[in-house]
Chains A and B, each alone.
Chain A
Amino acid sequence: MKHFEYFSAHSAEEAVALLQKYSPDALPIAGGTELLVRMKQNLIHPKVLVDITHVPEFQGIALTEEGLRIGSLVTHAEVAASPLVRQFAPAVAAASGSVGAVQTRNLGTLGGNLVSCVPSIDSAPALLVLEAQAVVFGVNGRRQFPLTELFVGPRCSSLTPAELLEAVIIPRHNLGKPTCFSKFGRRKALTIALVNAAACVETNPERTHFSQVRLALGAVAPTPIRAYTAEAYLAGRPIAQEVLLEAGRLAAEDAKPIDDFRASAEYRRHLIGVLTRRVIEGALAGMPKV
């Protein structure tokens, strides 16, 4: 790896001040599982790294008035094992548990995964169906916006160079709703998703019809996306195989998959259909018995 200057920040203010001071040559580092690989591969050469691992504001998982707050520095292993996340947002825990392997989950952080804005990130779909908010800290203080607005394009986020993702908040009204995450890769572990998906499902009390379904997909468009056409179709429809099939077909239309060395667009469209059914059925299966 090429030489760089290294600073360790001990508060959010210090971190963004350092990033601003050395902009545009500085990058923040947390788990390093993405950044260091790109540096070793000679894809990027930051002159300054600001280590934010010890920034206290970005730590921890807590239930607040607003909802479930997950600090950006919480590792995937911690998200996956958290009793709070497992209780109130099980699909989020499952998604973090599917990232990489044990070693990468112990280093990699939820925030790092999200801000990388790689289309296939596993942490995004489950948070999107729970309508998570992003809390961002910058030199001018905090701002908060829907997580969907973080994703601009492949490896491109809406953060300015001196802004950091502080936390994500899953709003209180969505806590505990039936969700499911599913991922399809070429291997069962340590793999990048060819397609990943999450659903949040609500039904009528008799459990015969969908009342509202939110569906999100990854690795099938320049950013993780919500499948709005499929969602609109499902609202009010009966819970039936042919409805799920049609929803899968519509979800594939919501997406813009590409051919790459991992899979063809055609195969990805097929996978969208399969995973759409799987996550909706998975969320239904997780609901308490009628």
Chain B
Amino acid sequence: MAFTIKVKVNGEWKTADVEPEMTLLELLREQWGLTGTKLGCDEGDCGACTVLFDGKPVNSCLVLAVRADGHEVVTVEGLGTAERPHPLQSAFEQHGAVQCGFCAPGMLISAKALLDANPEPTEQEIREALAGNLCRCTGYTKIVEAVKSAGRAMKSSVK
């Protein structure tokens, strides 16, 4: 039996008919075309599928789509646009924090959750917040630098 669900995605309420076994990741990518969120390991280890679920980062491959009914989801597409990128997106670009780019959407979402709660994180806090997001290309140094710099940029723009 399919369920009709309503999810607030990137600020906009959407409805979908989903089978119980459909994951939130499949719903986002296959029904709604939000392919920015990636499928990496399909078992909650790599973080490529990270989205904000009611403001908290979760692995969307481990959330049943039916469970998103009535909840709010933010994906990388909801962070910024080409004209107005999120400070994190600009910082990732400027710091060369992206190589193949496959981990970047999940990294950005985890980093956003961190900076929303803690605009001035220490390096250790950044590393802990990103521990669930694996990168196989760059190493994490530039990613950590980018998050730090985005935090500073966000803070100064608030002032």
Report A-B touching, CB under 8 Å: yes
Give Cα A203 to B66, complex, Å: 52
Minimum C-beta distance from A160 to chain B (A): 24
Which one of B9-17, B56-64, B85-93, B96-104 is at the A interface?
Answer: B56-64
Within 8 A of B (CB), among A266-284: none
B113 within 8 A of A: yes
Give Cα A36 to B133, complex, Å: 19
Q: Which of A1, A6, A8, A189 contacts B132 (CB 8 A)?
A: A189
With A6-B20, A33-B62, A190-B132 known as contacts, the answer to whether A101 contacts B56 (CB < 8 A) is: no
Contacts of B43 in A (CB 8 A): 37, 40-41
Contact A3 B110 (CB under 8 A): no
B34 within 8 A of A: no
Contact A37 B44 (CB under 8 A): yes
Contact B19 A36 (CB under 8 A): no
Q: Interface residues of B, CB < 8 Å — how many?
A: 29
Minimum C-beta distance from A47 to chain B (A): 11
Give Cα A49 to B22, complex, Å: 13
Contact A6 B128 (CB under 8 A): no
B137 within 8 A of A: no
Contact A2 B21 (CB under 8 A): yes
Q: Which of B19, B59, B110 contacts A104 (CB 8 A)?
A: B59
Q: Which of B44, B128, B129 contacts A33 (CB 8 A)?
A: B44
Contact B21 A107 (CB under 8 A): no
* Residues 23-37 of chain A, each 1 if its beta carbon lies under 8 Å from chain B, else 0: 000000101110011
A100 within 8 A of B: yes
* Residues 1-45 of chain A, each 1 if its beta carbon lies under 8 Å from chain B, else 0: 111111010000000000000000000010111001100110000
Contacts of B128 in A (CB 8 A): 102, 189
Minimum C-beta distance from A221 to chain B (A): 26
Contact B58 A106 (CB under 8 A): yes
B1 within 8 A of A: yes
Contacts of A41 in B (CB 8 A): 43
Contacts of A49 in B (CB 8 A): 20, 64
* Residues 70-108 of chain B, each 1 if its beta carbon lies under 8 Å from chain A, else 0: 000000000000000000000000000000000000000
Contact A102 B132 (CB under 8 A): yes
B67 within 8 A of A: yes
Q: Which of B57, B64, B133 contacts A32 (CB 8 A)?
A: B64
Q: Which of B3, B62, B66 contacts A107 (CB 8 A)?
A: B62
Chain B residue with Cβ nearest A106: B56
With A103-B57, A106-B53 known as contacts, the answer to whether A51 contacts B67 (CB < 8 A) is: yes
Contacts of A40 in B (CB 8 A): 42-43
Q: Which of A100, A102, A188 contacts B129 (CB 8 A)?
A: A102
A133 within 8 A of B: no
A53 within 8 A of B: yes
Contacts of B59 in A (CB 8 A): 33, 103-104, 107
Minimum C-beta distance from A33 to chain B (A): 5
Give Cα A40 to B21, complex, Å: 10
Minimum C-beta distance from A211 to chain B (A): 36
What are 7 inter-chain pairs, A to B, with CB distance below 8 A?
Answer: A36-B23, A36-B62, A40-B42, A101-B47, A102-B129, A104-B62, A190-B45
